[in-house]
Structure 1
Amino acid sequence: MEENVNVTELFGCDVFNDAVMEERLPKKVYKELKETIEEGKELSLEIADVVAHEMKEWAIEKGATHFSHWFQPMTGVTAEKHDAFITAPKENGKVLLSFSGKELIQGEPDASSFPSGGLRATFEARGYTTWDCTSPAFVRHDSAGGILCIPTAFCSYTGEALDQKTPLLRSMEAVNKQALRILRLFGNTTAKRVTPSVGAEQEYFLVDKEKWLKRKDLIYTGRTLFGAMPPKGQEMDDHYLGTIRQRVSAYMKEVNEECWKLGVAAKTQHNEVAPAQHELAPIYAPVNIAQDHNQIMMRILKKVASRHGMRCLLHEKPFAGVNGSGKHNNWSLTSDDGVNLLDPGKNPHENKMFLLVLACILKAVDEHADLLRVSAADVGNDQRLGGNEAPPAVISVFLGDQLEDVLDQILKNGEATHSIKGEKFATGVTTLPDFRKDATDRNRTSPFAFTGNKFEFRMLGSQDSLSNCNVVLNTIAAEAFEEACDRLEKAEDFDKELNALIVEYTEKHKRIIFSGNGYSKEWQEEAKRRGLPNLPTMVDAIPALTTDAAIDMFEHFKVFTKAELEARAEIQYEIYAKAINIEARTMIDMATKQIIPAVVKYTTVLAESVNQVRAAGKTYNVSVQEKLLEKTSALLAESYEALNHLAEVTAEIEKKEEGPERARYCLDVIMPAMTELRTPVDALEMIVDKEMWPMPSYGDLMFIL
């Protein structure tokens, strides 16, 4: 029998965490490092040298031979280069192992080889990685051996952010400063820091590796570009929270252990709605650590799948016709003395600080809905949002009955006098204990839903970085908090001004509140009447990054410069066009080399069958073969025509100017041409002999594991 895992011993065993630092570092060094982490004080090179030495010694004990500045460029994935601890050989041929404070604090990767949106030219290669000491280093074990990974930010020689981490850390500083002002207004003098915390639920698909290898579309694009639905999909709702298959259970066990070793608090695992779809959710962490942990988790999900003869698909829509995958971003604001600014308490109507924070967030989301939308924009998410499986592209806020009732009272009477309480839930079964229901239900169609003591941003795609949406959430909250504090700090009558501000913000921004069915056509029409922006695609959303309002806000809080925002918009257009171009060329390749030859072979067999039966000299009925031949030939001709059209329009991509024009061409011309090809091919898959069809079907991929 397999040994039981001691989780308490396993958890964080490969992390240079606070407990390890306290044990190994001299007291003075440990104290100074803690002050740097908690208060942002500058770390001296002398202290860094001591930390680096102990970190190296610890990493070597863990089997590490190399170290790496582990960073997150604007590719959406992580990047790293490995340097051995060895020094130049001495005269006797021996080497020493060393790691200096300078090597810990600063690295120098090539900045021109990553997306920069024009911030770095090819000849301007210098870039810097710098240690994010608030996120602990860790040793990762894989085929390369042990690698000491040091979480870092990545900036250009001239100081622009070239990564996902730098703006996230900047936004954390912005919201911290303004949230502390709110706490001070309500008499809290002990809090030194307010930190955004995030718990990110990660959805993913698992498919058999051998079948995956037979699908060029999965290999090149991460999703199926062709595929007819099997007789059964998710109609029976029997996969969601169903019994986990043994092969998947073994996989999940190893994923958990790998996560725990690296300090990722993997907590909840279960089957998701679609066949072959699953979810893994961690416990909350400060948002920059949550971002690092999510990147670690995604890598582990892929790595462990390969060991088990599977492939992990993180694309938002790997299969048409069944639910896609998202990444729910549960966001809250918590002070270092334990105050959650989003906790309404037992009587929300009496909690004036919470009501102020709530009103500010309604204001922030309403005024910057377009930025929240673009923070969740990617190519795969375009196919997922609003499809009766994910929130619609229109941003709205769900508050629930209790908070909506409190706000209604405030709007009608200038204040609230009571809060709806959760009723006793009677099961009707005497042997089951009664319990109290929550004061409000949940709404899974809402993009931004209040869920007790946090907001759940549900639009994020499964392969997305957590950074973009949290940069936006932190910064728009900081802006709203700052405006409120500027007024309240000058108020002669604080309570009167506070009530007036809550009423004003609620009245002005109540249009963003919606508790109904976000999937319905009626809501789309109602949202339009309310004046809420509807940005259905990534291409529609990207301009939000460079509006005057966005530039003014981000520059004011020193999160992004105008140049950095323009660069990110350019990168987004480039990513979109390149992704669609790859998908189109993959479809052309598959149709040309696999699908059409297979269908031609099938029609040949049918034709030979008709001729052979007729040649038998008897009046056998060949109407079935003839009808199949006629239908197949018609669909083959339609496919061939659509293939030629797709090839023609794809060849024109390079003639379009890079940026909005090329991205818009891909959206308006290439995507419809791809659909025109897929439609007859999927119909052919339902006709052609399975033995002749050149790739595994949806049924093979989703149900046979």
Structure 2
Amino acid sequence: MLSATYLGSTRRAALSAISTGSRWLSSTLASSSASVVDASYGADRFSFSLLSSESQAALAECETNGTPLSAAAADDIAATLHDWAVSRGAVSYSHMFSPLREGPAEKHDSFLAFKSGRVTSAFTGSMLLSGETDGSSFPNGGLRGTHRAGAYTAWDVTSAPWVRSGTLCLPSVFVTHEGTPIDEKTPLLRSMEAISEASLKVLRALGDKDSTKVVPEVGWEQEFFVLDRELVLQRPDVVTSGRTLVGAAPSRGQQTDANYFGAVPPRVKAMLRDVQDELWSLGISCATLHNEVAPAQHETAPIFGVTNVAADENKLMMQVLKDVAAEHELFVLLHEKPFANLNGSGKHNNWSLTTSTGVNLCAPGSASFEQAAFTTFTAAVVHAFAHHGDLLRASVATAGNDHRLGAQEAPPAIMSMYLGENLTAHMDAVLAGGALEGYSEDARRVLGLGTRAVPPLRASVEDRNRTAPMPFIGNRFEFRAVGSNQDISTSLTFLHAAVIDGLEAISKRTDAGDSIRDAVSAVLADSMHVVFNGDAYSDEWAEEAERRGLPNNRDSASALGAIAADKNVDLLSSTGILEREAVFARAEIAMEAYSATIELEATAMLKMLQQGYLPAAATDEATTGGAASTTSFSADKAGIYGDLTAATAKLAADLDSLRGALSGEAPAAATKVAAGVASTMATTRAAADTAELVLPASLYPYPTYEELLFRHHTHSAYERA
């Protein structure tokens, strides 16, 4: 990710535009960076500069003060959007929204209107601003029903539309007939406004009278696997669940460390270049592409952006990856753990807060104000993880991410922070009565490399700790626990809520008469137990974390209940991010999604065993004589096949229990049953993987790990269809 600190005047211009209600879009970026950005950048992303000055002012007033758009302004915006979209090949429009499920939703409506008995081409302001649909057919936690199903989509006017595949796409929210959110975006937008207000109050205590807004920003890093499509379609587990439910480890995994930053295979590179081209036209800067640690694993990352826009772009990028891969006869897996015994995929969220005057509150800076503000806001983040680690853990709790967290390639389920030795020492000094100022990026060391051929390097003040869920990275904090298949909105919404609580803890003390220094010190005194600069993968840390009172919810079944905990319901509702009933609904939806995923996976695994593994084992046993053979090898093989048969029967019985729980139990109770089935699946998988190693290759019914991971690496690139 290209860090916020290094964008200088361009960044400041962007944030100034944001604070005044102006849009920071491709045309502005192109004009300020003409040597870097060519005319194709953002060609399929709408630029608000195309609007009349009156419409731009109306949108700015809407964003800044919540003033509704007049019918005339809405019609003018719609007409401009329509003409631009048609010029880009659009024949329809869609309010793209993010229901509480995997993947966005879209309904395509033609640019048509019925007027005076005739059908005409039209796109009116009312068509632009909102749509109506059935809310009961989406996950809603009881907030909707067949007898009260009304729900609305509404365009987020701060996120620029785009044209793709003949459709004008309008990033939108999704709410019930009463206006209660049943989507990912609405709470995120509310949290962004709430954290801005809480931040401004603290900034005033620090002496900042000029900032009018604080903008949360994020730069996401998307990890994924790319496989041969033909082979994937022969794996029912991958097609159904996005991961391999059975499969013995390949001979070559990641033991030689040869894949990370290695040469991208030609066929995959051609596909990723096409992805990059399409993202470029959509105004998404695919700044980084590289191999990840596991074979067939890759990563891409853009330049950071304003959080709600970045979330929209991440969802769009995930879809572009899948679509372009199909054109190359490849298949993209976004699951957090597609292959056992290999690294899984995450989506690191590089998060920061920036004022309308261009100050990054998550970077120490050189000026005394910047240093004091950095210390203050860092204290709020530390408070967030110390007191709402359970909520933050729940925000990344999914059946897929359970396989990744704590598996030596991702942070553990214990939510802790890494500050580094120098920043921790500074915080300790504040606790001892020292000033907020004093920690600066000017303390970066100069590294001499022992050769005149390479100029000296400036090292960051702190080392990098990849084992922490939320490490400090010099000018931002990196929420590393988010899963690769997740919408980043909920994790960031909950993060904002938790940080707001830290900011309010500081403000309460300054309101009571404390100095800002004393207020920050008091908050740190109550929160520094969440800071751990060591190896968070170690068993010793789990023991130490327990002594510190930090929760360790190892799986989703134990983590998701925290969403509905009293303190978290109070937090989310008091900040205006979610209504109380919406919080309870969200907890129920998350539990149901977890149980449904386990049921789906167990069903797919059982079918593969009954229709593939067991028949193959029976054929082998009949051919070799099985248990009747006098050879020890055949006797061992018969035992292995017997273990697989028994494990399959146990899985079938447990799956029946889960189906019963899903039909009759409350979501929390069904989740516990699902967790038991997940454990049974792990045992069954071990039996299946052992059987695979003794089955003759000619009898193995599915493509192996070696074939899935490496076969397409031997292919040359070919032209996109």
Is TM more than 0.5 here? yes
Match of 2:139 in 1: 115
Secondary structure of the structure 2 residue equivalent to 1:87: strand
Counterpart residue identity of residue 129, structure 1: T
Alignment of 1:524-603 (within 5 A): 524-603=542-621
CA drift at 1:654: 3.0
Distance in 1, matches of 2:684 and 2:503, equals 51
CA drift at 1:36: 2.5
Match of 2:413 in 1: 393
Distance in 1, matches of 2:38 and 2:99, equals 33
Match of 2:6 in 1: none
**8 Å contact from structure 1 (residues 574, 658) kept in 2:** no
Alignment of 1:58-207 (within 5 A): 58-88=84-114, 95-141=119-165, 146-207=166-227
Distance in 2, matches of 1:212 and 1:350, equals 52
Counterpart residue identity of residue 67, structure 1: Y
Identity of aligned residues (%): 38
Match of 1:662 in 2: 670
Distance in 2, matches of 1:137 and 1:677, equals 47
Distance in 1, matches of 2:680 and 2:382, equals 41
Distance in 2, matches of 1:218 and 1:640, equals 22
Counterpart residue identity of residue 429, structure 2: Q
Match of 1:502 in 2: 520
Distance in 2, matches of 1:68 and 1:54, equals 16
Distance in 1, matches of 2:583 and 2:688, equals 41
Change (3 A) 1:417 1:133: closer
Counterpart residue identity of residue 671, structure 2: A
**8 Å contact from structure 1 (residues 405, 419) kept in 2:** no
Counterpart residue identity of residue 446, structure 1: A
Match of 1:627 in 2: 632
CA drift at 1:487: 2.9
Match of 2:386 in 1: 366
Structure 2: stretches of 5+ with no match in the other structure: 1-34, 713-721
Distance in 1, matches of 2:616 and 2:370, equals 70
Match of 2:4 in 1: none
Higher alpha-carbon deviation: 33-42 or 543-552: 33-42
Distance in 1, matches of 2:113 and 2:387, equals 55
Residue of structure 1 aligned with 2:361, choices 341, 352, 365: 341
Match of 1:615 in 2: none
Residue of structure 1 aligned with 2:685, choices 663, 668, 678: 678
Match of 1:9 in 2: 39
Counterpart residue identity of residue 16, structure 1: F
Distance in 1, matches of 2:435 and 2:208, equals 23
Distance in 1, matches of 2:174 and 2:636, equals 57
Alignment of 1:200-219 (within 5 A): 200-219=220-239
Distance in 2, matches of 1:415 and 1:9, equals 49
Distance in 2, matches of 1:348 and 1:237, equals 43
CA drift at 1:635: 1.4
Offset from partner CA, 1:116-165 (integer Å, 9 cap, x none): 01010122221000110000111112xxxx00111110000122101001
Offset from partner CA, 1:495-538 (integer Å, 9 cap, x none): x6222112212222110110100000000000001111111111
Distance in 2, matches of 1:65 and 1:436, equals 53
Match of 1:454 in 2: 476
Change (3 A) 1:117 1:295: same
Distance in 1, matches of 2:620 and 2:38, equals 59
Secondary structure of the structure 2 residue equivalent to 1:701: helix
Matched, 1:436 2:432: no
Alignment of 1:602-613 (within 5 A): 602-607=620-625
The total of aligned residue pairs comes to: 673
Offset from partner CA, 1:459-499 (integer Å, 9 cap, x none): 000000111111011112222222322332453xxxx6222
CA drift at 1:658: 3.3
Change (3 A) 1:207 1:44: same
CA drift at 1:415: 3.5
Match of 2:58 in 1: 32
Larger radius of gyration, structure 1 or 2?
1
CA drift at 1:603: 2.0
C-alpha RMSD of the superposition: 2.0
Change (3 A) 1:102 1:349: closer
Counterpart residue identity of residue 575, structure 1: A
Residue of structure 1 aligned with 2:645, choices 640, 644, 653: 640
**8 Å contact from structure 2 (residues 371, 438) kept in 1:** no
Distance in 2, matches of 1:505 and 1:88, equals 61
Higher alpha-carbon deviation: 479-488 or 107-116: 479-488
CA drift at 1:417: 7.7
CA drift at 1:223: 0.7
Higher alpha-carbon deviation: 391-400 or 184-193: 184-193
Secondary structure of the structure 2 residue equivalent to 1:149: strand
Secondary structure of the structure 1 residue equivalent to 2:133: coil
CA drift at 1:646: 1.0
**8 Å contact from structure 1 (residues 197, 286) kept in 2:** yes
Match of 1:426 in 2: 448
**8 Å contact from structure 1 (residues 327, 458) kept in 2:** yes
**8 Å contact from structure 2 (residues 371, 436) kept in 1:** no
Change (3 A) 1:347 1:532: farther
Structure 1: stretches of 5+ with no match in the other structure: 612-621
Change (3 A) 1:69 1:437: same
Residue of structure 1 aligned with 2:497, choices 454, 468, 475: 475
Secondary structure of the structure 2 residue equivalent to 1:325: coil
Counterpart residue identity of residue 460, structure 2: D
